[in-house]
Amino acid sequence: MSISSKSWGRTPYREDILLFTLENSAGCKARISTYGAILNGLEIATGEKNIDVVLGFNSLEEYMNDGNYLGATVGRVAGRISNAVFELDGQKYQLDRNEGSNHLHGGKYGFNRRNWEVLELQAGADSPSLTLELHCKNGMGGYPGNLRIETTFTLSGSTLSIVHRAECDSPTPLNMTAHPYFNLNGDGQTINSHELKIFATQSLSTDNHLIPDGGLIDISGTSDDFSEFKALGENAQDRFYVLNTQSEDTISAAIARAPESGLEMEICTNQRGVQLYTADGMTAGTKGSNGFQYGPRSGFCIEPMGYPDAVNQPEFPSVILNPGERYNHSTEYRFRRIS
């Protein structure tokens, strides 16, 4: 159908922010902000009505004041880095401490706080796409190396794909993710009745601060086991699931469904695992889009990524990007009616 844009305000640094809307021939719509490469909304056509399945805010100002990373593109490194420090090639790097003594989701200068540039628009009727670009300088947030990132959003039928690509001029950690909060009923109410299946039987062992300690846990038969569909309920934990299949191809990682709306979402990725988060840290009464108020468990995140704190865990698969390599992170959110 089309790609449209509108001015969405300015940052304190007098940067002009745009809000783009992708709309395709299937009747689906995705709204993306150049601020933070944020997914502001995702409307899925069900045949009866459109359901906006992503939590969001109405204004740029609300995103600039948000501490929940609603819909944001997260990096350089998603998740926590213990004590906000790591060593690379014999040199120690001190990062921002923005969660107690730890570093979370790229710190104060993370991708979610940056204004991305528009690199390319493709307005095909069936699969419109938007590519945003970001340059990160050596030393920003404490990270080494100059980095150039491209993130492409494509809306094809009832599928939204997000592809992150990047190159660097010296070795640097890079472990990006998309951070949309989903509610497949589109009502901002509790997601406890949503049913979830994750193609994983192991998770990372963590300490009391949710920092991995280097171990793997067999979660078969425990409350954290979502290898078969079951309701999220009130007990689902913030946990990193190691996918059963490791592949450079895009494979199925998880399926979520909402019996009330009859909508199902399959998440496919080429990453090693997914972080499950059920918004328990969101403040009750948070004013959201469409007139809804959000709070704990108003949405859930399934964040495809490499292992958290891999920079401090030598036994984990590396998240270091080297010059001459090309980072390629692909995730697809595929929507359909529950069969």
pLDDT tens track for 228-257: 999 999 878 899 999 999 888 999 999 999
Distance between CA 229 and CA 254 in Å, rounded?
10
Give the residue ranges of the annotated binding site: 179-181
In terms of Cα–Cα distance, which of 34, 309, 295 is closest to 153? 34
284 burial via Cβ count (<10 Å: 0-12, 13-18, 19+) = exposed
Name the band, by pLDDT with cuts 50, 70 and 90, for residue 1. Answer: low
Give the residue ranges of the annotated binding site for beta-D-galactose: 179-181
Name the band, by pLDDT with cuts 50, 70 and 90, for residue 285. Answer: very high
pTM of the predicted model as reported, rounded to 2 decimal places: 0.97
3-state secondary structure of 332: strand
| 228 catalytic residue (yes or no) | no
Q: What are the φ/ψ torsions at residue 20 (nearest 5 degrees)? A: -100, 145
Distance between CA 38 and CA 110 in Å, rounded?
13
For the chain, the first-to-last Cα distance in angstroms comes to 28
Q: What pLDDT is stored for residue 235 in this prediction?
A: 77
Q: What pLDDT is stored for residue 246 in this prediction?
A: 87
Q: Is the pLDDT of residue 125 over 80?
A: no
Segment 129-172, tens digit of pLDDT: 999 999 999 999 999 999 999 999 999 999 999 999 999 999 99
Q: What are the φ/ψ torsions at residue 280 (nearest 5 degrees)? A: -65, -20
Q: What pLDDT is stored for residue 273 in this prediction?
A: 98
Least confident of 168-177, 287-296, 306-315, 325-334: 287-296
Name the band, by pLDDT with cuts 50, 70 and 90, for residue 188. Answer: confident
Distance between CA 78 and CA 310 in Å, rounded?
11
Least confident of 22-26, 67-71, 124-128, 139-143: 124-128
Helix (H) or strand (E) holding 103: strand 103-104
Q: What pLDDT is stored for residue 236 in this prediction?
A: 85
DSSP output for 136-194: E-TTGGG--S-EEEEEEEEEETTEEEEEEEEEESS-EE-B-EEEPPB-TTSSSS--TT-
218: DSSP letter? E
Segment 196-226, tens digit of pLDDT: 999 999 999 999 888 999 999 999 999 999 9
Q: What pLDDT is stored for residue 339 in this prediction?
A: 78
Q: What pLDDT is stored for residue 263 in this prediction?
A: 97
CA dihedral 254, 316, 324, 332 (to 10 degrees): 10
Asked whether the bond before 113 is cis by omega within 30 degrees of 0, the reply is: no
Write b or e for each residue in 97-117: b if 16 or more Cβ atoms lie within 10 A of its Cβ, otherwise e: bbbeebbbbbbebbbbbbbbe
Catalytic residue among 179, 195, 329, 332: 179
Domains and CATH numbers, the chain: 2-337 (2.70.98.10)
Mean pLDDT of the chain: 96
With a pLDDT cut of 90, the percent of the chain lying above it is 91
Catalytic residue among 23, 195, 264, 303: 303
Segment 82-122, tens digit of pLDDT: 999 999 999 999 999 999 999 999 999 899 999 999 999 99
Q: What is the 3-state secondary structure (H, E, C) of 115-146?
A: ECEEEEEECCCCCCEEEEEEEECCCHHHCCCC
3-state secondary structure of 64: helix
Q: Is the pLDDT of residue 50 over 70?
A: yes
| 303 catalytic residue (yes or no) | yes
Q: What pLDDT is stored for residue 51 in this prediction?
A: 96
